[in-house]
């Protein structure tokens, strides 16, 4: 038996259909399409999450973005750039989250 996916862990017993769509369609199909690299998909996804203020989902996607090859500097620059297009409060919320995540990743 494989380890439960993040969606299964969060809502598997509450909304199994949404888990199925998340795991099979979104991550199993859309994210696997070769027309964009995983790195590019992560940049687009993080930008969309910042733009619409989805900070809760941004938390996980910043980690995915790092694993897909985006640097901390590139992700911070994306947030700074979006401050002028998505709004200052959304950028400030996103950069605050990024700071928490990135500084917790640093060796002490």
Q: Residue 34: CB partners within 8 Å, gap ≥ 6?
A: none
Q: What is the pLDDT of residue 105?
A: 65
pLDDT at residue 57, as a whole number: 95
37-108 homologous superfamily: AhpD-like (1.20.1290.10)
The model scores a pTM over 0.75: yes
For 45-58, b where at least 16 C-beta lie within 10 A, e where not — what string?
A: bbbebbeeebeeeb
Torsions phi, psi for 14 (to 5 deg)? -95, -40
Q: Residue 2: its pLDDT value, please?
A: 83
Give the pLDDT confidence score for residue 1 in this predicted structure: 65
Q: Where are the domains of the chain?
A: 1-33, 37-108
- In tens digits, the chain (108 residues) has pLDDT values of 689 998 999 999 999 999 999 999 999 999 999 999 999 999 999 999 999 999 999 999 999 999 999 999 999 999 999 999 999 999 999 999 999 999 986 653
Give the pLDDT of residue 91.
98
Residue carrying the six token digits 């996607």: 61
Specify the pLDDT at position 103: 93
């Amino acid at each position: 038996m494989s380890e439960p996916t993040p969606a299964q862990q969060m809502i598997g017993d509450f909304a199994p259909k949404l888990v199925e769509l998340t795991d099979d369609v979104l991550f199993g199909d859309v994210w696997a399409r070769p027309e964009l690299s995983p790195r590019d998909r992560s940049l687009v996804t993080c930008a969309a999450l910042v733009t619409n203020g989805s900070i809760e989902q941004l938390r996980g996607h910043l980690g995915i973005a790092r694993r897909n090859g985006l640097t901390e500097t590139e992700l911070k620059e994306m947030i700074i750039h979006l401050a002028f297009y998505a709004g200052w409060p959304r950028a400030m919320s996103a950069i605050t989250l990024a700071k928490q995540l990135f500084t917790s990743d640093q060796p002490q």
